Amino acid sequence: MLAHKIAHHGTRPRLLPPIHIVLCLVLLLGAFGSGCQKVIVNAPEGGMATPGARSLPDQAFAAYANGDYRTAEALYDRTLQLPQLSPSETRDAWKYFALSTIANGKYHLGLEALEKWLSLEPDADTGTEWLNAFSTCMLRMPRHKAVDILDSVIADSARPWAVRTEATLLLAGRQWNDDSASRASLSTAMQQLADLYAQAPDASGATAYRGTLEARLFAQLQQTEADQLARLAGLLSPENELHFPYAIILLEKARRSATDSESWPVAWQALQRLRGAGMFADKLLVSRVLMPLEQEFGRPSQGIALALPLTGPYGNIGWKIMRGAGVAQWELARTGGDLSVTIINTAADGWEDKLAALPDGVNVVGGPLRKDVFEHIQHAGMLARRNYFTFLSSLGEGEEGREAWRFFSSPRDQVRTMLEFSKNELGIENYAILHPDEPFGSRMSGLFRETGSSLGVETSGVAAYAPKDSQSWGKTLKALLKVPAPRPGEDDAMPPQPPFQAVFMPDGWQQMQSLIPHFFFFQEDRMVFLGSALWEQGLASSKDIETRYFNLAVFPGSWNPFTPTSAAVNLSKALEESGLGKPDVWVGLGYDFVRFASLLGSPEKRLSPTDMNRRIQTAQQMDWSVAPIQWSAEGLASQKMFLFTPAASGFVPLDPQAFRTKLEEARTRHEERVKMLEEAYTAKQQADQQTGLQP
């Protein structure tokens, strides 16, 4: 029986359990009357037919060649039961039986037959017929069954790379075309593609293999529905979008977005970035997409402006921003970009007239840097003419994302970054605030409480100190910590037991050097100190810091000179080659803004908030040199900042695990010390009592 053949023929492992097929051969038996005789029907041996008739294998192949797959399946079924089939006849019978059953929609049985064919022809699964048949089964079977089979094939390192490639692509397609598939399932499928890409065999031919995989995935994505592609685009991040398979997703997203002359500049910038920075094995893949689009729409030109102070007290910052902008403009020119950058000195007389007189094609402006300049632009009605991305830490309520946009970190970004670390990494749920008694300190205190509340943490202590009266700081801190008074017979008070485990201190580093040691004076040596970005300015020029007071201190920053991003590395290299020194947050800001603005396209007029916010969602996916800024769909900016901790020579990047270890050790030492003090106090009390009872 065929089921027996499927179960026992060959030695390769099956994709599925054997499926029993019952074939009935009707034998004519009988004799009527008083005697019975058997009527014997003889089948041709070895597939040989009677003279003048075609053999059974020939009949089966003729049916298959004519597209009569039902007849072909039945005839190949019978052929496989014939005795004395040659090896080649057996192989062909299993091959065409597999192809026929799959054509008839019997995918489970077809998979079994494919494996039998493969056991007789070990390299069959590298050929087009076998792979196409396998693909058909995987595409037509129920998703959960197909996913199980594909997972097992992908994990089987004995399978040829071509088969695992096919299985990985099929699995990815089944996942993203299924609305019920979770984001985690999509991420897993993408990771399997990335793993396969990295494991391409034969070092000398690995580039060709990977180029083929890129082309296959790109072709597959072109057949994907728009909503499914949007789901995949949701997996893109600045860290992955230039690497396979995410770069292919971005490539298809950019290709589809080039629908007319208005959308073309944005798509062109995305394609240019992929061509210049994308990690493709096939170096011409992006060019093959870009060239016909350039022939259709032309090569766009762009113009932007920077409104910066180049003289006066803020002139040094303006020049740094302009230096980074110049590097970005040069990089874009190298990759075929045509971007002009107009600089307007907002510290010079007549800057308002120059800003108002910008050409009509210049509709994106970076800056201004100062709030009073922004208010002047706002009151003059100039915000209605162009899209402004300010280098301010905040905009008025209702303005951000509608009248103008923010291209800079905010105090809320600083607070959120630290709270997310202390809550998620350290498990701290209760906080205090110690701030200078001035408007800035009050604003930061309110912001911390508001942000903490949104994150589900409690602020159980708030204290303000007089910035210019350092003699009163000890008294202020003593009240905040609720330092107990000495007990009878006790020389020094026991360490305090405040309800909070971390304290937010938004002042500058100079004040911290005096304030934080007070905690240790009052025997509070396990507190986590959360600072602000102001700390960086003082720490950058500090030397020989007494780190024992600041082992549990952390503060945020927008620029990381220690472990830079790839964009920051490129910026540093370009500055070094030009003899322009080292970058900092302001140089990085100018560098990132020009590249970001180029990805917004070249709007012919000021875009509406809705249209600009839509363009921002694509542009923000770039590789940042500063801490990445991300905008919500409403155009509200937020920055996930880097975290640092003070060190003897200034500051270093925060190591979360090392920080947790130091905190646990500090808590353990503190508990042991408190226990020792309690035991000493109890022993002294008992000794005093005994002494008092003696005559």
pLDDT tens digits, residue range 97-131?
A: 999 999 999 999 988 999 999 899 988 888 888 88
pLDDT surpasses 90 at 238: no
Task: Give buried/exposed letters for 50-79 (b at 16+ CB in 10 A, else e).
Answer: eeeeebbbebbbebbeeeebebbbbbbbbb
> What are the backbone angles phi and psi of residue 623, rounded to the nearest 5°?
-85, 120
* Contact yes or no for 358/386 (Cβ under 8 A): yes
Mean pLDDT of 16-28: 29
Which CA distances in Å does 134 have to 51, 358, 451?
39, 61, 54
pLDDT surpasses 50 at 364: yes
pLDDT-based confidence at residue 32 (cuts at 50, 70, 90): very low
Return the pLDDT at 692. Answer: 65
CA-based nearest residue to 642, from 425, 454, 413, 445? 413
Residue 108 CB partners (closer than 8 Å, separation 6+):
16, 19, 141
pLDDT-based confidence at residue 39 (cuts at 50, 70, 90): very low
Return the pLDDT at 53. Answer: 54
Helix (H, G, I), strand (E, B) or coil at 337: coil
pLDDT surpasses 70 at 43: no
Instruction: Give, in degrees to the nearest 5, the angle at Cα 536 between 533 and 540.
Output: 170
Task: Give buried/exposed letters for 4-41 (b at 16+ CB in 10 A, else e).
Answer: ebbeeebeeeebbebeebeeeeeeeeeeeeeeeeeeee
CA-based nearest residue to 145, from 99, 108, 196? 108
pLDDT-based confidence at residue 181 (cuts at 50, 70, 90): confident
455 CB burial (10 A radius; 0-12, 13-18, 19+): middle
Weakest-pLDDT range from 70-79, 113-122, 263-272: 263-272
Long-range CB contact pairs, 328-331, < 8 A, 24+? 328/590, 328/591, 328/592, 328/593, 328/594, 328/595, 328/598, 329/594, 330/574, 331/276, 331/570, 331/574, 331/595
Q: What is the pLDDT of residues 417-443, one digit of tens each?
A: 999 999 999 999 999 999 999 999 999
CA-based nearest residue to 614, from 595, 628, 593, 600? 600
d(CA 564, CA 572): 9
DSSP 537-598: HHHTT--S--GGGTTTEEEEES--SSS--HHHHHHHHHHHHHT-----HHHHHHHHHHHHHH
pLDDT surpasses 80 at 503: yes
d(CA 390, CA 349): 20
pLDDT surpasses 90 at 170: no
d(CA 440, CA 467): 12
More confident residue, 571 or 163: 571
CA-based nearest residue to 494, from 502, 503, 486? 486
DSSP 477-495: HHHHHTPPPPPTT-SSPPP
pLDDT surpasses 80 at 46: no
Q: What is the pLDDT of residues 473-498, one digit of tens each?
A: 999 999 999 999 888 888 788 999 99
Residues in the chain: 695
Structural domains of the chain ordered from first start? 1-141 (1.25.40.10), 155-300 (no CATH), 302-402+563-640 (3.40.50.2300), 411-557+655-673 (3.40.50.2300)
Return the pLDDT at 203. Answer: 61
């494919």: which residue's tokens?
114
Task: Give buried/exposed letters for 584-605 (b at 16+ CB in 10 A, else e).
Answer: bbbbbbbbbbbbbbbbbbbbee
Task: Tell me which range, 135-139, 405-409, 605-609, is most confidently predicted by mean pLDDT.
Answer: 405-409
Residue 112 CB partners (closer than 8 Å, separation 6+):
6, 14, 15, 16, 18, 19
pLDDT surpasses 90 at 208: no
Q: To the nearest whole number, what is the mean pLDDT of the chain?
A: 86
Which CA distances in Å does 480 have to 38, 232, 496, 524, 678?
109, 51, 10, 12, 23
More confident residue, 276 or 652: 652
- The structure tokens listed for 143 are 């998703």
* Contact yes or no for 392/371 (Cβ under 8 A): yes
Percentage with pLDDT > 90 across the chain: 58
Longest CA–CA span in the chain (Å) reads: 137
CA-based nearest residue to 5, from 88, 104, 82, 99? 82
d(CA 467, CA 511): 8
DSSP 606-621: PPPHHHHHHHHHHHTT
Return the pLDDT at 418. Answer: 96
pLDDT surpasses 50 at 695: no
Give the number of other CB atoms < 10 A from CB of residue 688.
11
Residue 163 CB partners (closer than 8 Å, separation 6+):
125, 126, 131, 134, 153
